[in-house]
């Protein structure tokens, strides 16, 4: 699949695409990333890509024309290379918050996307209305630009591609994954067995795989209830909690009731 990234700072992506385990996806071509700078399509000596907003106010707004010319060029390039048309995505606070299900949809799709990384106060709304197919948010906070959001999506998509992670089933044990019923993952431990007076939980050293899996399930339930109770509620509504799960949660709840 191919992702085209429109950014005023494409150099930011260089170390990202050549570092870490996900570089395998980019080096092998499983995920192709092509970078485009709208400044290359701007007029004038200074190749201006922004201007002050009509109506006044702070900040600058990215111009529609350089973005459109850049988008037209990359679409022509995709066509010439035999790449299928792809949706145009803008990272924006008004977009739908990206979650695991969304990442899986992007990962499974063969076409990729055109990712637009906004800057300053945003983009001319006329460009958004005419050219953008969907908007994505990482959460209720504001970044200096869409580059970090684009990297987050690319990284999440890349690690789901076959052969990228050393353990093919590794990502299935990630938090939010359907294989974990959408719960948070459990704590993990490694050598040494004792570290600064803190031992590894004894059950993990027992060799009893059934007990280990039950402990891990219980920890996932506890962590999710404590930190993301809405995920636990969703799992319950979907019928993903077993009688053993509910019994464990009920027992833990009774322990936390204060004595009067």
Active-site hit among 10, 53, 87, 93: 93
Torsions phi, psi of 191, nearest 5?
-65, 150
Instruction: Output DSSP code: residue 20.
Output: S
Residue pair 38/68 in contact (Cβ under 8 Å)? The answer is: no
Active-site hit among 159, 216, 217, 220: 159
Is 159 part of the annotated catalytic residue set? yes
User: CA distances (Å), 66 to each of 14, 69, 211, in order?
Assistant: 23, 5, 60
Distance CA 81, CA 247 (A): 57
10 Å Cβ neighbour count for 42? 18
Is 174 part of the annotated catalytic residue set? yes
* First-residue to last-residue Cα distance in the chain: 61
Question: Which token pair is 14?
Answer: 């260089």
Active-site hit among 32, 104, 121, 155: 121
Is 121 part of the annotated catalytic residue set? yes
Q: Which parts of 43-145 fold into alpha helices (H)?
A: 64-80, 100-108, 125-131
Torsions phi, psi of 188, nearest 5?
-130, 150
Nearest to 28 by CA among 167, 163, 156: 163
Active-site hit among 174, 185, 225, 228: 174
Catalytic residue numbers read 93, 121, 159, 174
């Amino acid at each position: 699949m191919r992702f085209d990234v429109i950014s005023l700072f494409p150099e930011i992506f260089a170390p990202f695409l050549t570092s870490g385990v996900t570089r395998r996806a980019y080096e092998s071509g499983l995920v192709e990333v092509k970078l485009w700078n709208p400044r290359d399509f701007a007029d004038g000596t200074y190749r201006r890509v922004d201007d002050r907003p009509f109506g006044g106010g702070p900040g600058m707004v990215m111009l529609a024309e350089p973005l459109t010319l850049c988008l037209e060029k990359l679409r022509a390039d995709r066509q010439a290379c035999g790449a299928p048309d792809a949706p145009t995505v803008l990272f924006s606070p008004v977009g739908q918050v990206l979650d695991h299900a969304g990442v899986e949809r992007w990962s499974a799709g063969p076409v990729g996307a055109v990712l637009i990384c906004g800057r300053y106060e945003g983009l001319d709304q006329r460009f958004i209305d005419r050219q953008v197919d969907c908007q994505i948010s990482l959460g209720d906070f504001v970044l200096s630009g869409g580059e970090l959001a684009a990297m987050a999506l690319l990284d999440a998509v890349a690690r789901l591609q076959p052969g990228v992670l050393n353990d093919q089933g590794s990502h299935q044990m990630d938090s939010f994954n359907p294989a974990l019923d959408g719960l948070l993952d459990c704590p993990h431990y490694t050598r040494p067995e004792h570290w600064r007076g803190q031992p590894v939980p004894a059950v993990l050293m027992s060799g009893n795989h059934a007990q280990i899996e039950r402990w891990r399930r219980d920890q996932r339930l506890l962590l999710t209830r404590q930190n993301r109770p809405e995920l636990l509620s969703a799992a319950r509504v979907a019928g993903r909690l077993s009688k053993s799960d509910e019994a464990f949660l009920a027992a833990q709840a009774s322990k936390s009731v204060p004595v009067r």
